[in-house]
Structure 1
Amino acid sequence: MRKKLRHKEKKKIRRALLFFGGIIVLIGGANAAGNLLQENPEKLLTEYMAHIEQKEYEEMYEMTDTDGQSPEQKQHFIERNSRIYEGIGIKNLKLSNITEKKNKGKMKSFFYTVSFETEAGKVEFDNQANFVRCKEGYKLLWQDSMIYPTLTETDKVQVSVLKAKRGQILDRNGKRLAGQGRAVSVGVVPGKLEEHSLEDLAALLDTDIENIENKLEADWVKDGFFVPVATLQKIHEIDRMKIETNEEMMKEYERQRQMKEIPGVQFSDIEIRTYDMGEAAAHLAGYVQAVTAEDLEKHPNEGYRSDSVIGRSGMEGLYEKELKGNDGCEIWIVDKTGEKKEKIAGITKEDGKDIRLTIDSELQMQLYEQFKEDEGCSVAMDPYTGEILALVSTPSYDNNDFVRGMSEEQWDTLNENEKRPLYNRFRQIWCPGSVFKPVVAGIGINEGILDPNEDFGNEGLSWQKDSSWGDYQVTTLHEYEPVILKNALIYSDNIYFAKVALRTGSERLERALEQLGFNQKLPFEIEMVQSQYSNTEHIETEIQLADSGYGQGQILVNPVHLASIYSAFLNGGNMIKPYLLYEEKQESEIWIPEAFSQEASAEILEGLKGVINDPGGTGYGACREDILLAGKTGTAELKAAKEDHTGTEIGWFAVFTADKNVERPILILSMAENVKDTGGSGYVVKKDKAVLDQYFSMQK
């Protein structure tokens, strides 16, 4: 029994010896590998360089000859290497051409070539590394020249960003819509503040005092520092006359004057993106804002930095790549006096390109001023070239506020405004009402089911096809004779066009509308919502078909698209493609050829001339003696059900020069919501007439 126990104990001892022996072998192997590396300085150099991109500065330090060095020297090594390598944005580091230099004694030297990418481009140079043999093997003799051959311990590496100038947005005449301007930075100097300074400033800035205090609590702030707290419009003293005649500007001037009198508050002029037309072109021009962490992640390697701006909407967003340009960057070795010694790398800056639009800023402003209190939009174009002369959405907002910075209260006011000033109406689709009637007439003539001279008969002011419609009636406002196409357009007869739609049939009407661009993308720089003829795939009922004939039912049209359709009545039936980027040679491009036959476009044009020039025409309020105009009014009813009498109305007016030889041809399409109690489409006619009066007066 005792022998068996001894045998078991011996087996345990042997197992333990084998286990610990294995560990010793492993440790020995690891040490041997470490020593092998330390005995091979070429591999040591390769590993050292590999640590740079990984930001493993402590590991790099341990590979150097540290005998007799203090903790402070280690900290200096880590800080110097990290500041330089991370400052220049090093990546893709590669070693090549490593060759040993023959030395005597304990030192070994290697020549090598190193290359890497930086913020300022590619850097490549030849260098030398020296190694000394120590107890543990070889160690790197580190010097500042390991970073760059001519760098000394008293030199610094300076990275300079050369900011690219953002391109301007210009109108057709070179007038600026967006570009660099001046603003005022309002700041606080903490050491000069008095008891109620912050309280008074917060009241004038319409902000909470805590917002200012938070900025003053930043780590970098000291008593004598200027701490920016707000950016305001620059009010020029030389514009004194302009200030005194502008109530809003006078209020701003007085507000800033009071701020300057607060102890500890100072003003500083700064450069800032400025929108010269403000509200008048906000939806068109858009705005820029500072990039966010999300932007930097979404646009890697596109030249954006933490202090960059990016276009958020409108032309600023659409042409961001062209406008932004590319920043330049230079990396210099600078001596202890601040003098530049040597340029390591450099990328030349490329300023952004200017974007020139077909927009006439004067016309844009005139349309905005007329409709700025309304919920609506206006499109103006040259009907022969397709150039868009104005794109207005109202009510609007000041895009400068997005650049200067808005308080939470300002942002809430914009978002909670029931008129939705941020909503871009010219991109949307709307019920067109009677401005759609010429489209239905053109389709009817194209399809051979409408003779412009056929008398449809006087049905009175209400009509239905038969008793299957129940109590539903199509109503109109005027009785006239004969009931032919020209008169139906002049008096805007709903019954006439309901009959045309029924004759055409839903299948043919749908097909014809799709041939006119419905349910398809508009070929235009700005993405528009697609026009439609039904909320479902097809026009579902006979009543819906009849209503579609006079622009009701479920017909929804984009204003730019509708303007293009109207251009066909002046171009022998060809629909002109609208465009927004200015071209020196104003050549038209046909979007949809033969959208209407020449006969159809000529017949409809005559009727549209009558709408404006016949005393009984619904657009007679815009008639001129000097220039022949044509057009169409429209009032679209928006109601929850047929029997609803509380719905709102959209007022439309399409008006254009009917003579191709006119000096400044123009087509304007304006829409205003909620015109039920303001005169319907007549309200829009009056406003567009005022715009045209100004527009034509400029050519005399």
Structure 2
Amino acid sequence: MKKRLMGALFILLTILLAGCQEKVTPEDRLAEYVGHWNKGEFATMYKDYLNKGTKEVFSTENFVERQEGLQKDLGIKNVKVTYTKPAKDKEWDIEKPADFPIKVSMDTVAGPVEFEKTITLVNESRDEDENWFVKWDTSFIFPELGEKDTVGIATSKPARGEILDRNGLSIAINGEGEEIGVVPEKFTDETSKTKLAELLGTSVEYIDRQLNQSWVRPIDFVPIEKVAKHETSLLDEAIKIKGVTYQKTPMREYPYREALSHLTGYIGVITAEQLEKRKVKGYTEADLIGRQGMELLLEDRLRGSSGVRIYIKPPEKGAETITVAEIPAVNGETVSLTIDAELQKKTYQAMKGEAGTSAAVNPKTGETLALVSSPGFDPSEFMLGMSGEKLEELKGRPLNPLLTRFAYSYAPGSTIKPITAAIGMEAGTLDPTEGLTIKGPTWSDPSWGGDYKVTRVHAEAPNPIDLNKALVYSDNIYFAREALDMGYESFIEGLKGFGFGEEMPYVNNLEASQISNDGKIGSLGRLADTSFGQGEMLTNILHLASMYEVFITDGVMYKPTLLMDEEKSQVWKEGLVSAENAAILRKSLRNVVVDGFAPAANLPSVPLAGKTGTAELKAGGEERGKENGFFVTYNSENPTFILAMMIEGVEDNDGSAYVAELASTIFAPGSGE
């Protein structure tokens, strides 16, 4: 009896305790559900929190796998779901649904998405227990999303930025070309395939693949090859083949072609190496990218950024899509160079296809007005894809049109003599009025020993030889003796003052000018050689032009610039020559043209000043004995630009006088100077 009473009391106590336990509220359930939602735990949300009606409509696949897939495909991150809490004393009726306002925010590949909705919980019995469960539909993914709608993502490409010259002339632009193609119903002669393949440098197999695409109908235009619109001869030959025609197509254009080819470079299909580095920036295998020159150097500015759009597509035919989020494409920048494209073209043409390089600078700002490598190539051929056979043919040409000559440094020869003079004058060891007596064609210092001698070109120069005569007659012995009077330290420090031995502060990568291979001068003979631009001295063509600025600016050399948005007239070096000494050198440089050995540069209406130079190549093999000719010049009365020109292999063509003749045509009346 006692045991029965104790059992009854235990059961009663259990019932009483259960009745005293606080029941789970819909808010409690919603807080748990939102916690899982924020973590992307969709399987738990489906299994433990969705009501019966929702599960009858949406399977695990429709709820869990779909949302997981969308999070991955749309780059959904930082999901944050919040709800408005009810009053603390809120009483819930299990017979009625519980509604809560919620706010959902997330980041996607197309930008942020935010929306507000009302979420409903209902009380249901499950496994003999009562609880609150969520009523769900697809609008909790995106408000506009219907059960049968699909979610898509689309990208839009930006327009590539264009490159202009200082006057707004087009250097690299988004223009148009021609696309050669065939109309199948007219292109029926099998021999036509062979003719077209040979003309375009492709294969019959490739043409067949194009014709056998699933979309092709007999009346369609089937593209085969893109060509630049200036390839008029090729286009004329193509349409002679029955069934072949062409039509306009968007294309990158390079209006100045060979004249600016090495500077502008070209775009092309991205390489595997480039893609590996730029995948994180959204590049794909089909993208075009800068492959050389400014197209490559300015890639990040010219590319722009792709647009991304997330959209909902209803199942009904013809229904308009609904945009969920969108980041518009941002076109690339238009970048202006300091280059004067017409001056560049004149300079290139003046070089007559000879192997060489030229640079023109504004002496009062440091702006690069021309930077030429000759011969050039047609950038369009590389942009459209060049066959291996054509590439090998270009590489095999004797003058190597693919070599960017302005990027390299060369022995400057006698064009360095005015710089040597300026260093000596500032050091106080060179008196421009003092004449040296120099006899015979060669000279050597007794202390040197060995057979080395300095050789002069014009032994007929009348004594005494002062600075002016030394420049007019380009006397190697005079400058060798002056360099020995200066000594190693003064001469080396003077050259460093002009920027030798350091990288030029320039956007384009040019070889640094050097005093010697190790920056030192190891012997008196080498000191003599270096004084007139031989030995191991090298300078790039732009630096050579820039050094002559000091004669116009009274000692200032400006930082060379290539982009119009760079600050102009930034001082790179200063105090290199006094105003008095600069005036003396300006006068002598004018006399070099009037009285010296480049008569073609002595124009009757344009008073050019400048200095010629010839440098013998010291390399072995076929190069040994060859000479590079130089001329650095400017209009002495109106020095709007300094031009430095180098032509290779002038040993059999009147030496540097030939270069002076070519360069002077740029300044001649009617040239636009």
- Normalised to the residue count of structure 2, the TM-score between the two structures is 0.82
Describe how 1:599-618 pairs up with structure 2 within 5 A: 599-614=580-595, 617-618=596-597
Equivalent residue for 2:626?
648
Equivalent residue for 1:288?
267
Structure 1 gap segments, 5+ residues each:
1-38, 236-248
Equivalent residue for 1:117?
107
Percentage of pairs with the same residue: 37
Stretch deviating more after TM superposition (409-418 or 683-692):
409-418
Q: Which amino acid aligns with 2:79?
A: L
> Per-residue deviation at 1:598?
2.3
> Per-residue deviation at 1:316?
2.2
Change (3 A) 1:136 1:538: farther
Describe how 1:334-413 pairs up with structure 2 within 5 A: 334-335=313-314, 336-340=316-320, 342-371=322-351, 373-413=353-393
Q: Check whether the contact 1:106–1:133 (CA below 8 A) recurs between aligned residues.
A: no
Q: Check whether the contact 1:634–1:653 (CA below 8 A) recurs between aligned residues.
A: yes
Change (3 A) 1:435 1:429: same
> Alignment partner for residue 530 of structure 1, among 509, 512, 524?
512
Instruction: Tell me the secondary structure at the aligned position of residue 671 of structure 1.
Output: strand
Q: Check whether the contact 1:469–1:543 (CA below 8 A) recurs between aligned residues.
A: no
Give yes or no for the alignment of 1:561 onto 2:547. Answer: no
Equivalent residue for 1:427?
407
> Per-residue deviation at 1:631?
0.5
Equivalent residue for 2:295?
316
What is the alpha-carbon distance in structure 2 between the residues aligned to residue 82 and residue 188 of structure 1?
Answer: 47
> Alignment partner for residue 76 of structure 2, among 80, 90, 98?
90
> Alignment partner for residue 488 of structure 1, among 464, 470, 489?
470
What is the alpha-carbon distance in structure 2 between the residues aligned to residue 401 and residue 130 of structure 1?
Answer: 65
Equivalent residue for 1:582?
564
> Per-residue deviation at 1:470?
1.5
Stretch deviating more after TM superposition (570-579 or 74-83):
74-83
Describe how 1:167-206 pairs up with structure 2 within 5 A: 167-187=161-181, 194=188, 195-206=190-201
Instruction: Tell me the secondary structure at the aligned position of residue 279 of structure 1.
Output: helix
What is the alpha-carbon distance in structure 2 between the residues aligned to residue 682 and residue 189 of structure 1?
Answer: 58
Q: Which amino acid aligns with 1:692?
A: F
Q: Check whether the contact 1:619–1:631 (CA below 8 A) recurs between aligned residues.
A: no
> Alignment partner for residue 614 of structure 2, among 635, 659, 684?
635
Instruction: Tell me the secondary structure at the aligned position of residue 478 of structure 1.
Output: coil
What is the alpha-carbon distance in structure 1 between the residues aligned to residue 117 and residue 433 of structure 2?
Answer: 93
Change (3 A) 1:386 1:652: same
Stretch deviating more after TM superposition (95-104 or 561-570):
95-104
Q: Check whether the contact 1:432–1:552 (CA below 8 A) recurs between aligned residues.
A: yes
Equivalent residue for 2:605?
626
Instruction: Tell me the secondary structure at the aligned position of residue 651 of structure 1.
Output: strand
Equivalent residue for 1:241?
none
Give yes or no for the alignment of 1:689 onto 2:670. Answer: no
Q: Check whether the contact 2:414–2:612 (CA below 8 A) recurs between aligned residues.
A: yes
Structure 2 gap segments, 5+ residues each:
1-27
What is the alpha-carbon distance in structure 2 between the residues aligned to residue 465 and residue 595 of structure 1?
Answer: 29
Over residues 118-155 of structure 1, what are the superposed CA-to-partner deviations in whole Å (9 max), with x where a residue is unaligned?
Answer: 23211122346678877799998764324212211344
Instruction: Tell me the secondary structure at the aligned position of residue 505 of structure 1.
Output: helix
Give yes or no for the alignment of 1:671 onto 2:628. Answer: no
> Per-residue deviation at 1:450?
0.8
> Per-residue deviation at 1:385?
2.9
Change (3 A) 1:587 1:127: closer
What is the alpha-carbon distance in structure 1 between the residues aligned to residue 576 and residue 262 of structure 2?
Answer: 31
Describe how 1:243-262 pairs up with structure 2 within 5 A: 249-258=231-240, 261-262=242-243
Q: Check whether the contact 2:598–2:661 (CA below 8 A) recurs between aligned residues.
A: no
Change (3 A) 1:159 1:645: closer
> Per-residue deviation at 1:48?
6.4
> Per-residue deviation at 1:289?
2.9
Change (3 A) 1:504 1:209: farther
Give yes or no for the alignment of 1:164 onto 2:158. Answer: yes
Q: Which amino acid aligns with 1:163?
A: K
What is the alpha-carbon distance in structure 1 between the residues aligned to residue 493 and residue 342 of structure 2?
Answer: 40
RMSD, matched Cα: 3.8
Over residues 260-300 of structure 1, what are the superposed CA-to-partner deviations in whole Å (9 max), with x where a residue is unaligned?
Answer: x34xx564432122111111101211222344565455346
Give yes or no for the alignment of 1:698 onto 2:672. Answer: yes
Equivalent residue for 1:540?
522
What is the alpha-carbon distance in structure 2 between the residues aligned to residue 191 and residue 42 of structure 1?
Answer: 68
Change (3 A) 1:611 1:352: same
Over residues 274-331 of structure 1, what are the superposed CA-to-partner deviations in whole Å (9 max), with x where a residue is unaligned?
Answer: 1111111012112223445654553466464555433333222333333233333333
> Per-residue deviation at 1:192?
7.6
Instruction: Tell me the secondary structure at the aligned position of residue 468 of structure 1.
Output: coil
Change (3 A) 1:103 1:460: farther
Q: Check whether the contact 1:372–1:396 (CA below 8 A) recurs between aligned residues.
A: no
What is the alpha-carbon distance in structure 2 between the residues aligned to residue 82 and residue 217 of structure 1?
Answer: 39
> Alignment partner for residue 228 of structure 2, among 223, 226, 233?
233
> Alignment partner for residue 595 of structure 1, among 576, 593, 602?
576
Instruction: Tell me the secondary structure at the aligned position of residue 258 of structure 1.
Output: coil
Give yes or no for the alignment of 1:330 onto 2:309. Answer: yes
Stretch deviating more after TM superposition (370-379 or 189-198):
189-198
What is the alpha-carbon distance in structure 2 between the residues aligned to residue 234 and residue 82 of structure 1?
Answer: 50
Over residues 71-113 of structure 1, what are the superposed CA-to-partner deviations in whole Å (9 max), with x where a residue is unaligned?
Answer: xx88887996688555544344344448799785799987644
Q: Check whether the contact 2:600–2:660 (CA below 8 A) recurs between aligned residues.
A: yes
Q: Check whether the contact 2:448–2:525 (CA below 8 A) recurs between aligned residues.
A: no
Instruction: Tell me the secondary structure at the aligned position of residue 576 of structure 2.
Output: coil
Q: Which amino acid aligns with 2:172?
A: A
Over residues 339-369 of structure 1, what are the superposed CA-to-partner deviations in whole Å (9 max), with x where a residue is unaligned?
Answer: 4464322334433332222222111111112
What is the alpha-carbon distance in structure 1 between the residues aligned to residue 101 and residue 622 of structure 2?
Answer: 90
Change (3 A) 1:348 1:188: same
Q: Check whether the contact 2:432–2:466 (CA below 8 A) recurs between aligned residues.
A: yes
Describe how 1:37-56 pairs up with structure 2 within 5 A: 47=36, 50=39
Equivalent residue for 2:5?
none
What is the alpha-carbon distance in structure 1 between the residues aligned to residue 343 and residue 622 of structure 2?
Answer: 38
Q: Check whether the contact 1:498–1:550 (CA below 8 A) recurs between aligned residues.
A: yes
What is the alpha-carbon distance in structure 1 between the residues aligned to residue 232 and residue 551 of structure 2?
Answer: 49
Over residues 556-589 of structure 1, what are the superposed CA-to-partner deviations in whole Å (9 max), with x where a residue is unaligned?
Answer: 01211111110111122222333223379x9644
> Per-residue deviation at 1:629?
1.1
Describe how 1:432-511 pairs up with structure 2 within 5 A: 432-466=412-446, 468-479=448-459, 480-482=461-463, 483-511=465-493
Q: Check whether the contact 1:99–1:112 (CA below 8 A) recurs between aligned residues.
A: no
